[in-house]
């Protein structure tokens, strides 16, 4: 059997580093940084890690909101979504994730777009 995406990314520690970088990049990103002005970086890094671990086939410890509830009434634009995708690619590159795994992560991320953009 093929390893889960979770295992191929390097498990919980590797994913925690990717999620931490991702949140740092979002906060520093001029296109979306202001969205996180009121956020606690430590808390959202934990939520992002748990969500990513669960979504890649690892243990499910995610206790956060579903994606529609989390982003409802934010009215996130296509440009903001693309900025978040750019940050994700950067975080994956930083962690030396291979092209095949990057494509899988991107695909999963994109399946969540309807619950995030313009809701």
Q: Does 64 bind ligand HEM (CB under 6 A)?
A: yes
**57 three-class SS:** coil
Question: If you write DSSP's letter for every residue of 49-106 in order, what string do you get?
Answer: HHHHHHHTTS-----S--HHHHHTTS-B-HHHHHHHHHHHHHHHHHTT--HHHHHHHH
* CA quadruple 97, 99, 77, 54: dihedral sign: negative
**Do 92 and 105 meet the contact criterion of CB atoms below 8 Å apart?**
yes
User: Which CB atom, from 8 or from 113, has the smaller least distance to ligand HEM?
Assistant: 113
Report which residue's Cβ sits closest to ligand HEM. 64
Q: How far is the CB of 94 from ligand HEM (least distance, A)?
A: 18
- Smallest separation, CB 101 to ligand HEM (Å): 16
- Least gap, CB of 4 to ligand HEM (angstroms): 18
- The CB-of-80 to ligand HEM minimum distance in angstroms stands at 4
Binding site for ligand HEM (CB under 6 A): 32, 35-36, 39, 44, 47-48, 51, 64-65, 67, 70-71, 76, 80-81, 84, 109, 112-113, 116
């Amino acid at each position: 059997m093929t390893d889960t995406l979770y295992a191929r990314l390097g498990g919980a520690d590797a994913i925690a580093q990717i999620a931490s970088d991702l949140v740092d990049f979002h906060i520093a990103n001029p296109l979306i940084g202001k969205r996180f002005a009121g956020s606690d970086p430590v808390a959202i890094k934990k939520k992002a890690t748990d969500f990513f671990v669960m979504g890649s086939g690892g243990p499910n410890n995610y206790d956060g909101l579903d994606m529609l509830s989390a982003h409802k009434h934010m009215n996130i634009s296509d440009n903001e979504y693309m900025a978040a995708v750019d940050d994700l690619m950067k975080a994956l590159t930083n962690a030396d994730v291979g092209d095949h795994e990057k494509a899988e992560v991107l695909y999963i991320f994109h399946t969540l777009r309807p619950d995030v953009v313009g809701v």
